Amino acid sequence: MRRILGPYGGRRGQMVSNHPFKQLTTMMRSFAGGLFVSIAVLLLCTFSLMSRIRENRLLADAKIDAEELWSTRSPSGWRPSSVPGPDWKSSSPVKNGYLLVRCNGGLNQQRSAICNAVLAARIMNAILVLPELDANSFWHDKSGFPGIYDVDHFIKSLKNDVDIVMAPPAFHMVANKKKKLKAFQLRPPRDASPDWYTTVALDKMKEHGAVYLTPFSHRLAEEINNDEFQRLRCRVNFHALRFNKDVMSLSQLIVRRLRSEGHFMAIHLRFELDMLAFAGCVAIFTPEEQEILREYRKVNFAEKRLVHDERRMIGKCPLTPEEVGLILRSMGFDNTTRIYIAAGDIFGGERFMQPLRALFPRLENRTSIATAEELASVKAEGKGLLGPAVDYMVCLLADIFMPTYDGPSNFANNLMGHRLYYGFRTTIQPDRKALAPVFKDRERGNTRNFEGRVRLVMSTTPFGGPHPRISPESFYTNPWPECFCKSSSEFVKERCPSDSGAWGSSSTNSTSFSY
C-alpha cells in the first residue's frame, strides 16, 4: 500500500511539511488505515456472526427427545445371553482343593468380587466355599452372603459350572491320612491373570488342600481373552446373584408404588461425604464442611494436592444435585418427572438438594416411599448393605437410570452393565468434562444458549444401547459383546448358541428374569 503513495511513502515523519501533496498523502494514509481497521472489524464481525450462526445451527440440531428416552434402546438384533458355547464342559468331578475368599469394599465391589471368585474356582478346578462378605467398620454390616443374596438360587444356578459349599470340611485326606484342613492365606496381586491362579495359587492349594484369598476385590483381571470365562461371569452376575426374598419384595413394593403413577427415573446421586472427600471437590462447601471433608480424606485416602476447579474441569467431580437438575431440564424433562434418588446422606443436605427439588419437585427415596416398618423388616433403614441392595434393584428396574459419578466397580458401573443386559434400558451418562465449561460460564453469568449447549453435549453421549467396550470402560459396565448374541447373523461368533444342553437358554436368557 505504501508503494502507491509515491516516493515519500517510506519515510514517514522525517520532516513536517505543509506541502499540499504531503497533506494529501497523510490524509490518504489515515484513510487507508481507517479502511484497514474497518475491513478488519467487518471481517471479525462476519466471522463471529458466522461462527455464531454455526453454533446456533449446531445447537438447533442437537435435539433430544426426552419422551422417547423412557423406552428401552434399540437392540439392533442383539439379545442378552450367557449360555456357554458347545465346548464348555460341566465342572470336573476331580477337584484340586477348596477356594475361600474374603470380598471387601461396598456392595458392588463385593458383587464383582463374587463373580471373580466363581471364575477363579472354575479356572483352578476347585470347590468354592460360599464367599465371605466384608463386614467392615464403614458398612457396619454383619448380614453376610445369606443376609443379602439367595444362597440356594446361587448354588443351584451354578451347579454345572462350579461346586459351591457353605463351609469347608474340617479334615481332608492327604496320602490316605486324615489331616486337619487349614487354608493357606494368600494375597493375590491386583488384576492377577488366570495364570497366577493356575500356578502360584494352585500350587499352594494342592499343598494345603485349601487357599484363602484376602483381600479379594479386583484380584482377577477384568479383560480376559476368553469369551467362555466372561460368559461365566455374566451367569454369576446376572443370573445366579439374586438378592434374598426380603430385599426383592421390598424393592418390588417400592417400584410398584413409583410405577402406580407412570414411569420413573432413578438417579444415583453420589454426593456423599466419602465420594467428595475422595474426589477432592470441596470448594463449594462451608469452611466447617470443608474441614470435615479434609479430615475424612486424611484418614481414608492417600495424600494428594487436589484443586476443586482443576478436578472439575477434567470431569473428576461428581455432579451436584443442581447440575443434575439443569441437565435433565435442558434435555427436556419437565417438573412432572418422577425421580427416585438412590443415595446415602447427601453431604451439605437440603441446601444442595433444594435447587434440584425446585426444578423437579417429585423427588422420592426409599424412606419417602416405604414406611419405617417396611424398611425395618429388611434392615434397610440404616447404613449397612441392605439399603444399597434395595436401591440397586430400584435403579435396575427404573425406566431411566442416571449416575452422577462412575468409578471402578461401583454401584453405577455395575448397574450400567446390568441394565444393558436387562434389555438395553436407558442410561443417561453425562459427560462431566464436556459439561464443566458450560456450567462454569453459567456461574459467571454467561447464560447465553445454556440449555442448548448442555443439550449439545448430552446429544453426543450414549444412552445405553449395545456399544463397543472401550478402555477404561470395565467389563462389568459393558459386557458387550461377550454376553450378547444375535438370533441370526452372518458371523458364527455372534450367533446365539442352541437352546439345548445342560444350561439351556431357559435359565440364562433375558426372558427368565425373575424380578
Which residues are at the interface with ligand NAG (CB under 6 A)? 79, 335, 343, 361, 365, 367-368, 505-506, 509, 511-512
**Which residue lies nearer to ligand NAG by CB, 221 or 292?**
292
* Burial class of residue 66, CB neighbours in 10 A (0-12, 13-18, 19+): middle
Quick one: 190 or 257, whose CB is closer to ligand NAG? 257
- Name the grid cell of 447: 447464560
Those residues whose C-beta lies under 8 Å from the C-beta of residue 427, and which sit 6 or more positions away, are 400, 401, 402, 403, 415, 416, 419, 420, 462, 463, 464
Nearest residue (CB) to ligand NAG, 10 versus 361: 361
CB of 388 to ligand NAG, least distance (A): 10
Question: What is the closest distance, in whole angstroms, from the C-beta atom of residue 364 to ligand NAG in the complex?
Answer: 8
Q: Which long-range contacts (CB under 8 A, 24 or more apart) does 288-296 make?
A: 289/347, 289/348, 293/347
Q: How far is the CB of 434 from ligand NAG (least distance, A)?
A: 28
- Helix, strand or coil for residue 349? coil
The nearest distance, CB 340 to ligand NAG, in angstroms, is 10
Of residues 193 and 336, the one with the C-beta less far from ligand NAG:
336
Q: What is d(CA 205, CA 184) in angstroms, rounded to the nearest whole number? A: 7
**Residue 222, SS3?**
coil
Q: How far is the CB of 465 from ligand NAG (least distance, A)?
A: 17
Whole-number minimum distance, CB 466 to ligand NAG, in Å? 15
| Residue 399 dihedral angles phi and psi, to the nearest 5° | -70, -35
Least distance to ligand NAG, CB of residue 271, Å: 10
Q: What is the 3-state secondary structure (H, E, C) of 450-474?
A: HHHHHHHHHCCCCCCCCCCCCCCCC
In sequence order, the 6+-apart residues with CB closer than 8 A to the CB of 84 are 228, 231, 232, 497, 503
Comparing CB distances to ligand NAG, the nearer of 79 and 219 is: 79
Task: Compare residues 102 and 418 and give the one whose CB is closer to ligand NAG.
Answer: 418
HEC profile for 65-77?
CHHHHCCCCCCCC
User: Which residue number, 48 or 368, has a Cβ lying nearer to ligand NAG?
Assistant: 368
Q: How far apart are CA 330 and CA 340, in angstroms?
A: 19
